[in-house]
Structure 1
Amino acid sequence: MASISMGNPLVYLEKGANDNWLIGSDSREFYLLTKQLYAELTQNNNLKTPLKIIIAEREPIKLIASFIAATAANCQVFLCNPNWVKAEWEQVFNLVKPDLIWGNLPEIDYKKTQKDTREFTPKFTSSLIMIPTGGTSGKIRFAMHTWKNLMASVRGFQQYFSLEQVNSFCILPLYHVSGLMQFMRSFTTGGKLVISTLKLLENGERYEIQPEEFFISLVPTQLQRLLEKPDLTTWLSRFQTALLGGAPAWLELLETSRNYGIRLAPTYGMTETASQIATLKPEEFLAGNNTIGQVLPHAKVVIKGENGEILGTNQTGTISIKADSLALGYYPELFANQEEFQLDDLGFIDENRDLKIVGRNSNKIITGGENVFPNEVEAAILSTQMVEDICVIGLPDSQWGEIVTAIYVPKSSNVNIGNLKIAIEDKLSKFKCPKKWIAVESLPRSVQGKINRQLLQQNYRTEVLTTNQFCVTNE
């Protein structure tokens, strides 16, 4: 049996055994199921290597019970999206080669993958928690975390918001870091937790809670949908804090939220850092601040120049992170630098120590020698309220090298390129304005709201190159 200490999930399980902390669900069922699964895993403790367990449960109680049981039993736990298709599951199985599967998966020839003869170099005495990331780019990876990493994120959140208990209203997937950390905050601090979905909210399910005592976490597309219904907007405005992350939010969305008095807290973080490492407090948001706030106590952000030098206030460069919540690596490899995580994101820290994200270096478009960041162009187009969705990419062009290309979903059939051009001409410099516009019915987004920019780039770039011509520009 695994030893029980404050670093063990079973401590928190026992502390909440008699509490009705899972609102809308059966807390006792969770407790009993977790104990049962833990007993099954630890009845044979002569295993020389930790069991590798894939968890792909659709039912929330089963998922979190499986997660706690497997983590407490010092297993290598792989949280997975049960909605992955067969090709994605084959990719996962070739990488993981699991010993045990909890959940219903599509029919795959597992015989090829069940025996793992690889030597896994890193040796750990505690469980590893693998959280999926990178699936939208076509290659699924797992960020390797430990219980200690995740708890560092929880403690940083508590300290930043000066809280003892954290009550969470979760409508994000529990297998994703954004949903998992909401569970972790409530489970380990003695707080209450609601597990729901956006669809249930839109259908009128509210639960018996006082929103003023709860945090809710949203991605921008979810926030947009909630704001389209007056009753949900009023309900959302009652929450203690509405954390917003997962993808960049456009200015119009922020302004609308502010006008409705929603206590929004834009955040910045990723799977590799066990969710947020910077957050804007709601009071500052309501006062007009449009940054993503200050860095949480468990993390440190450094802005670096092209040669690796540390930049000063208001100087834009690449973002580098040091954090107690930083992942160990991508399974099964450790990060070469365990102390610092170098990102592709560009940003700066202003005179108030607030962090501002400019965009991604890899998404940068160089057109006629000028640098254009898609985030800024997308925000300007969204602010016109003429499009439902937008993604800006660079496509090859014989004259400009690359041209700024807007792939958009129009709000109505009356929206045309001429109207859009006029609407943004006073919002962007001329070189930043799209030269090519492509209307589509929908854009590929993940459940966290992130656009699959790589897929769009690949599809339209391939189309340009296979036709043996560059894009026709309007100038």
Structure 2
Amino acid sequence: MAINVTTNILDIASRLPDNWLIGDDSCEIGRIVDRTFQQLTQNQSPQTPQTIFIAESEPVQFIASFIAARATKSQIFLCNPNWVKSEWQQVFNLVQPDIILGKNTLQNLTEIGFIASILDRHKNNPQSPIPNYQLPSIMIPTGGSSGKIRFAIHTWETLTASVQGFQQYFELEKINSFCVLPLYHVSGIMQFMRSFTTAGKLAIKPFKELENGKKAHIEPEQFFISLVPTQLQRLLQNPDTANWLSRFHTVLLGGAPAWPELLGTARKYQIKLALTYGMTETASQIATLKPADFLAGNNSSGHILPHAQVTIRSSKGEILCCNQVGNIAVNAKSLALGYYPDKFGDSLRDSFASRKYLQLDDLGFFDENNYLNIVGRNSDKIITGGENVFPAEVEAAIKSTNLVTDVSIIGLLDKDWGQVVTAIYVPANSAVTITALQAAIEDKLSKFKRPKNWVVVEQLPRNSQGKVNREQLQEIALKMVRSEDFSPLIDAD
């Protein structure tokens, strides 16, 4: 079982086999951990935990920094080393660190003038401890559709609870992970946690290298790999890589809805795909489809993992029956304590404490076999002419045409329709026309679901975790539809 007690993390690291970190020197990472630990504890007060930003761009340095920082029982903030100035500003407005681990990040922050100003602010306005705070905490960044960065408050216990649920669900003792996702993101750090706490093996490679055919020296049959749908799509375009991917024990797929044609191609190559549902707040997946079910034709998010409980509820909190769509409500041992610097407080805390669940914005239903099916986000729902349209369905239909490389669907206010379905998209090539797109989705979507506005862009405004910024999409779309040369496609019926 995964280690879920406050065992000295240095002891865990010392018990790992010499070859646990594939492609890198496992002994060298131990030396980096020891050196970093000594540096962190040199002037540390045992009564005052340090606040440490981990913003290492190199995976070995990131892992060593995480292990060392955890060993000091500090407050850890996982940070994206590629954040730009405005994003770092959001972070520093939330918290000022005592230590920043990441040579390149420190250099970048110094060049843009952040370090001096932050140190002065920290000196003049020292941070007070958060009352009743459970320490040490591990803060994992998450960004909603607004693009605002915030940190989910996790602990060693919540992260290892997720690992235990994963172990039990797949009936494994050791978990080997091949990671191509960023370690500062929940999807990356949890791959490390699964391998690290179960004495499994870990291989890390930038996705670009994998896409270019540079495969790791591993036996894929023994490994899990986690991908998002666009990554899977790119890998399937190369038959050699697709066949190699089919050898993996399991290919976990999450982060965004997958479209039917993509899943069909994966089945063609007999890829052992496991569709997942989870989020930063639940320390990765709480529902997963077994590969055998996927290969048999199931496109759901699968069954609930042992460490979680999920119900479907109405707007009044009533539990709904199977095949009834409602809000997804979650309770899990892996559930975050809240968003830094607040635990789930006020109305959220009252709801969570009294009803023992956290109601999410996601809509879904359980079918008669208890498979979880995701419909979309309630807040993203478009009501046009009295009909409900969920962006995920429309996006999947448009992506399946292979005429776009990226697309997002929003609703724009309209005096006649209430809202009109609007597509902001990146065409696959310059020859793609709106007429061609309309024809391609004619037999895929009911008429009221088809976009009436089509807005072409060079790229969508996505954050570092791949989530689209819907506020920016609204601004882009409004600017375009209000321009003189824009021709809306709204008709009378």
- Which band: TM-score by shorter chain? over 0.9
Distance 1:247 1:432, change over 3 A: same
For residues 114-148 of structure 1, give each alpha carbon's deviation from its aligned partner in whole angstroms, at most 9, with x where no partner exists: 24534333334641000001166332101000000
- SS at 2:158 equivalent: helix
For residues 236-274 of structure 1, give each alpha carbon's deviation from its aligned partner in whole angstroms, at most 9, with x where no partner exists: 111110000111111111111111111111111110000
Query: Which residue of the partner structure matches residue 409 of structure 1?
Result: 426
Judge conservation of contact 1:219–1:449 (CA < 8 Å) in 2. Answer: no
Superposed displacement of residue 461, structure 1: 3.4
Distance 1:12 1:406 in 2: 50
Match of 1:455 among 472, 475, 480: 472
Query: Which residue of the partner structure matches residue 150 of structure 1?
Result: 159
Superposed displacement of residue 449, structure 1: 3.5
Distance 1:265 1:164, change over 3 A: same
Query: Which residue of the partner structure matches residue 79 of structure 1?
Result: 78
Query: Which residue of the partner structure matches residue 292 of structure 1?
Result: 301
Query: Which residue of the partner structure matches residue 24 of structure 1?
Result: 23
1:37-56 aligned within 5 A: 37-44=36-43, 46-56=45-55
1:246-285 aligned within 5 A: 246-285=255-294
Match of 1:208 among 203, 217, 235: 217
Q: Which moved more, 1:368-377 or 1:404-413?
A: 404-413
Query: Which residue of the partner structure matches residue 328 of structure 2?
Result: 319
Match of 1:174 among 174, 183, 202: 183
Query: Which residue of the partner structure matches residue 371 of structure 2?
Result: 354
Distance 2:339 2:258 in 1: 28
Distance 1:171 1:295 in 2: 25
Match of 2:313 among 289, 304, 311: 304
Query: Which residue of the partner structure matches residue 392 of structure 2?
Result: 375
Superposed displacement of residue 66, structure 1: 0.8
Distance 1:474 1:389, change over 3 A: farther
Judge conservation of contact 2:141–2:185 (CA < 8 Å) in 1. Answer: yes
Distance 1:81 1:102, change over 3 A: same
Judge conservation of contact 1:436–1:474 (CA < 8 Å) in 2. Answer: no
Judge conservation of contact 1:130–1:145 (CA < 8 Å) in 2. Answer: yes
Distance 1:352 1:344, change over 3 A: same
One-letter amino acid of the counterpart of residue 111, structure 1: L
- SS at 2:24 equivalent: coil
Superposed displacement of residue 161, structure 1: 0.2
Q: Which moved more, 1:135-144 or 1:53-62?
A: 135-144
Q: Which moved more, 1:203-212 or 1:145-154?
A: 203-212
Does structure 1 residue 113 correspond to structure 2 residue 112? no
Distance 2:189 2:336 in 1: 15
For residues 76-106 of structure 1, give each alpha carbon's deviation from its aligned partner in whole angstroms, at most 9, with x where no partner exists: 0000000001121122112111111111232
One-letter amino acid of the counterpart of residue 325, structure 1: S
Judge conservation of contact 2:83–2:464 (CA < 8 Å) in 1. Answer: no
1:425-436 aligned within 5 A: 425-436=442-453
Q: Which moved more, 1:119-128 or 1:179-188?
A: 119-128
Distance 1:45 1:423, change over 3 A: closer
Unmatched segments (≥5 aa) in structure 1: none
Name the TM-score, length of structure 2 as normaliser. Answer: 0.91
Distance 1:414 1:91 in 2: 40
Identity %: 61
- SS at 2:37 equivalent: helix
4+ residue runs of structure 1 moved beyond 4 angstroms? 462-467, 469-472
Q: Which moved more, 1:206-215 or 1:384-393?
A: 384-393
For residues 306-336 of structure 1, give each alpha carbon's deviation from its aligned partner in whole angstroms, at most 9, with x where no partner exists: 2111111111000110000000111110103
Superposed displacement of residue 60, structure 1: 0.7
Superposed displacement of residue 207, structure 1: 2.2
Query: Which residue of the partner structure matches residue 14 of structure 1?
Result: 14
Distance 1:190 1:139, change over 3 A: same
Judge conservation of contact 2:361–2:378 (CA < 8 Å) in 1. Answer: yes
Distance 1:427 1:125 in 2: 50
One-letter amino acid of the counterpart of residue 308, structure 2: A
Distance 1:136 1:81, change over 3 A: farther
Distance 1:471 1:112, change over 3 A: farther
Unmatched segments (≥5 aa) in structure 2: none
Distance 1:197 1:287 in 2: 31
Q: Which moved more, 1:130-139 or 1:226-235?
A: 130-139
For residues 405-425 of structure 1, give each alpha carbon's deviation from its aligned partner in whole angstroms, at most 9, with x where no partner exists: 111222233322222222222
Distance 1:448 1:190 in 2: 28
Name the TM-score, length of structure 1 as normaliser. Answer: 0.94
Query: Which residue of the partner structure matches residue 231 of structure 1?
Result: 240
What RMSD, in angstroms, separates the aligned Cα atoms of the two structures?
2.1
Match of 2:361 among 326, 332, 344: 344
- SS at 1:78 equivalent: strand
One-letter amino acid of the counterpart of residue 425, structure 2: Y
One-letter amino acid of the counterpart of residue 13, structure 1: A
Q: Which moved more, 1:378-387 or 1:106-115?
A: 106-115
Judge conservation of contact 1:395–1:471 (CA < 8 Å) in 2. Answer: no
One-letter amino acid of the counterpart of residue 65, structure 1: A
Q: Which moved more, 1:350-359 or 1:422-431?
A: 422-431
Superposed displacement of residue 446, structure 1: 3.8
Distance 2:127 2:248 in 1: 49
Superposed displacement of residue 442, structure 1: 2.3
Distance 1:5 1:302 in 2: 29
Query: Which residue of the partner structure matches residue 96 of structure 1?
Result: 95
Judge conservation of contact 1:154–1:185 (CA < 8 Å) in 2. Answer: yes
Superposed displacement of residue 113, structure 1: 3.4
For residues 419-455 of structure 1, give each alpha carbon's deviation from its aligned partner in whole angstroms, at most 9, with x where no partner exists: 2222222221111111111222222334543333332
Distance 1:125 1:95, change over 3 A: closer
Distance 1:386 1:46, change over 3 A: closer
Judge conservation of contact 1:127–1:146 (CA < 8 Å) in 2. Answer: yes
